[in-house]
Structure 1
Amino acid sequence: MTHQTPHTPDELDDLIIQEKLQVAMELQHDAWAESTADGIEPEIIADAAMITAIRETVRALGEDQAEALVDSLRERILAGEFSPGRVLQ
């Protein structure tokens, strides 16, 4: 019999968010692969994905929060978070 360590409500919320993020990323990856298989260039796919993401963020959260998200993404890009060769520790 295994005994699992109980999680706090905040930890459970974080786990749920991480699982949803993983599923969303898998769906995005599948859409990317399908688009490239249809002959669409990666730059066009990326542009369409970012336009959709920003539009939906503005719709859901407003322009100020969408701007804050874009600003945080810029910082994360400059920090190398999305670099393909980045090694997680």
Structure 2
Amino acid sequence: MIDVQGAELEEMIQAEKKQVALEYHNEAWADGMSDGIEAEILAETAISTALTELVRLHGEDDVLTLMETLRKRLEYGEFRPDRTIQ
């Protein structure tokens, strides 16, 4: 039998961690911008740092699979700043 309550709790914990991580990233981003670092530099270094850590944790093949998924999401417009959710 699957522990549904445990799975739901774990999902809630992961969602909370993602929210806190987003807040940390937003704060670091704002600090960088206020220090005069261009958005393009902040974005590229954030992506490079994330990819390096993901490769360390999961290996290149898994990261390549993730990158293909991200590519599809980008093509579908998921990351457009003007996108509307229906």
| TM-score bucket (shorter structure) | 0.7 to 0.9
Q: Aligned partners of 1:74, 1:9: CA distance in 2, in Å?
A: 33
What's the CA shift for 1:70?
A: 1.1
Q: TM-score, normalised by structure 1?
A: 0.85
**Please, what is the CA RMSD of the aligned residues?**
1.3
**Residue among 48, 51, 55 paired with 2:48:** 51
Residue 79 of structure 2 is matched in structure 1 by 82
Structure that is richer in helix per residue: 2
What stretches of structure 2 of length at least 5 have no aligned partner?
Answer: none
1:66 maps to a residue whose letter is V
Aligned residues: 83
Residue 68 of structure 2 is matched in structure 1 by 71
Aligned-pair identity in percent equals: 46
2:17 maps to a residue whose letter is K
1:25 maps to a residue whose letter is L
Residue 35 of structure 2 is matched in structure 1 by 38
Residue 10 of structure 2 is matched in structure 1 by 13
2:34 maps to a residue whose letter is A
What stretches of structure 1 of length at least 5 have no aligned partner?
Answer: 1-6
